[in-house]
Amino acid sequence: MSNVFPKGFLWGGATAANQFEGGFHEGGKGLNLADVLPGGKEARIKLLSDTGFDFEMDTTKYTYPNHEGIDFYHRYKEDIALFAEMGFKTFRMSIAWSRIFPNGDELEPSEEGLAFYDRVFDELAKHNIEPLVTIAHYETPLHLIKEYGGWRNRKLVEFFERYVTVLFNRYKDKVKYWLTFNEINGATHMPLLGLGFSPENEETRLQDSFQGLHHQFVASAKAVQLAHEIIPESQVGCMLIYAPVYAFDSNPENVTFAQEEARIFNNFCGDVHVRGEYPSFINRYFEENEIKLDIQDGDLELIKEGTVDFISFSYYMSRTDKKNKTPEEIGQGNLIGGVKNPFLKASDWGWEIDPEGLRIALNELYGRYQVPLFIVENGLGAYDKVEEDGSINDDYRIDYLRGHISAMREAIKDGVEVMGYTSWGCIDLVSASSGEMSKRYGFIYVDKHDNGSGSLERSRKKSFFWYQNVIATNGEEL
């Protein structure tokens, strides 16, 4: 088959500061949300869906794996060299807000923090790797959480504006591609991660989450405007978690239900970011859920003017749903809800594997918006085994990625404009939802374990060489 990936397609890998940098109290960095999240599946998953978290650390009870991460803070040169060896054209990373503004509300940034990212960007440039930078990836400074209540508080718009202005001015010659808020539409499910607050109770969860989202829409629009002013050639994307919603069967009731769920989860944030307007369907949802937003003068105009240049999204799973679920069916679906899809197998963490869903996602998004798309997260979290000779034969990961990249290729043939693909956790890192090291995504293995032990040494998995060839052939050989 002739090649369908465009010339200049941005192949690469993705990470987030809080999950891999480590150095949590070095270089003048202040504490952020991830620093107080305990490790371990049970503790972390419960916390993310719970209410009333006090944001205190308790080292007598828990470990805090994000503190050391995989020590990219000290090993970035070695890691970037490995990315270059794989042939990366781009590398997605985030900036830890609290390295730049340790508390988040200072007037002046930390030079030490800024200098760290200068070194990282310079190292990437040395290897001709284009940085793709997420400005906010689950890293709200702890002070903004404790003192201000996270994104519920409008003051954060002002602090964020200061933060992005510093970033754009400082890195204007180094970074062209920016993303505003990671998986912004996941906020209502897990406000703790995206919005930096723990709901007081279930009654206030939705109201506070949508108010927080409104503040992020305003902040994002402002960031887009500032980026375009300060870095004329910059391109700024939003970042969605996208999961096509399938009706469980052809019962029209279930189709309507699936459509409703998709509108709220998949379309709402994208519509605001790309079309610059609150979509009409949200009014009914707000009324039925008694959500009343505090929208200030000028907000809607700003949102209209600060629309994004492209959509980036993560794709891990689809969701299958029906209107009336039996008690047994509830909780059997994916992380983001729904029921079990009888046609799909799931990962060891229960995430249903659905490559075809990526083609569906790409077509849905492009059909709705006609703006370029960037897949900035996709991958398989799996247990890896190191053989006696040190090799790691992760054929399951290769199969997963091959399936998804093939689906992306089909979507491009369908006419969808795709800018690039960065596989999640290109180097093993701490899982966001479970705080584990053993949920590995990488092409590069990191010798670090759930109990904190390990030499932190890096080694190449079988998938490393496979992906290297995918990039070298621009997706022709999968």
Active site residues per annotation: 183, 377
| Number of shown-chain residues binding ligand BG6 (CB under 6 A) | 14
Contact 79, 458 (CB under 8 A): yes
Q: Does 181 bind ligand BG6 (CB under 6 A)?
A: no
Residue owning tokens 């970042």: 239
Q: Which residue lies nearer to ligand BG6 by CB, 16 or 142? A: 16
What mask of x and - would describe binding to ligand BG6 in positions 214 to 243, judged by CB under 6 A?
Answer: ---------------------------x--
Pick the piece of the chain touching ligand BG6 (CB under 6 A) from 224-232, 257-265, 427-435, 467-475: 427-435
Q: Which residue lies nearer to ligand BG6 by CB, 109 or 435? A: 435
Q: Does 123 bind ligand BG6 (CB under 6 A)?
A: no
Q: Which residue lies nearer to ligand BG6 by CB, 99 or 439? A: 439
What mask of x and - would describe binding to ligand BG6 in positions 276 to 315, judged by CB under 6 A?
Answer: --------------------------------------x-
Q: Which residue lies nearer to ligand BG6 by CB, 254 or 334? A: 334
Structure token pair of residue 471: 């990039």
Strands (DSSP E) contained in 341-463 are: 373-377, 418-424, 444-446, 458-460
State the Cα–Cα distance between residues 174 and 116, nearest whole angstrom. 13
Residue 190 C-beta: closest distance to ligand BG6, Å: 9
Contact 51, 35 (CB under 8 A): no
Residue whose C-beta lies closest to ligand BG6: 433
State the Cα–Cα distance between residues 350 and 84, nearest whole angstrom. 33
Site for ligand BG6 in 353-412 (CB under 6 A): 377, 381
Q: Does 16 bind ligand BG6 (CB under 6 A)?
A: yes
Among residues 320, 341, 422, 431, which is the contact residue for ligand BG6, using CB under 6 A?
Answer: 431
User: Phi-psi category of 34—alpha, beta or left, where left has phi over 0 and alpha has psi -120 to 50?
Assistant: alpha
State the Cα–Cα distance between residues 396 and 402, nearest whole angstrom. 10
Q: Does 347 bind ligand BG6 (CB under 6 A)?
A: no
State the Cα–Cα distance between residues 165 and 215, nearest whole angstrom. 17
What is the CA angle 154-98-21, rounded to 5?
A: 135
Among residues 207, 433, 459, 474, which is the contact residue for ligand BG6, using CB under 6 A?
Answer: 433
Among residues 257, 434, 446, 475, which is the contact residue for ligand BG6, using CB under 6 A?
Answer: 434
Residue 338 C-beta: closest distance to ligand BG6, Å: 17
Listing DSSP states for 154-208 in one string gives: THHHHHHHHHHHHHHHHTTTT--EEEEETTGGGTTT-HHHHHS---SSHHHHHHH
**Strand pairing report for 130-136 and 90-94:** parallel
Residue owning tokens 């998986």: 183
Residue 290 C-beta: closest distance to ligand BG6, Å: 29
**Strand pairing report for 177-181 and 235-241:** parallel
- Name the residues that contact ligand BG6, by CB under 6 A: 16, 19, 182-183, 241, 314, 377, 381, 424, 431-434, 439
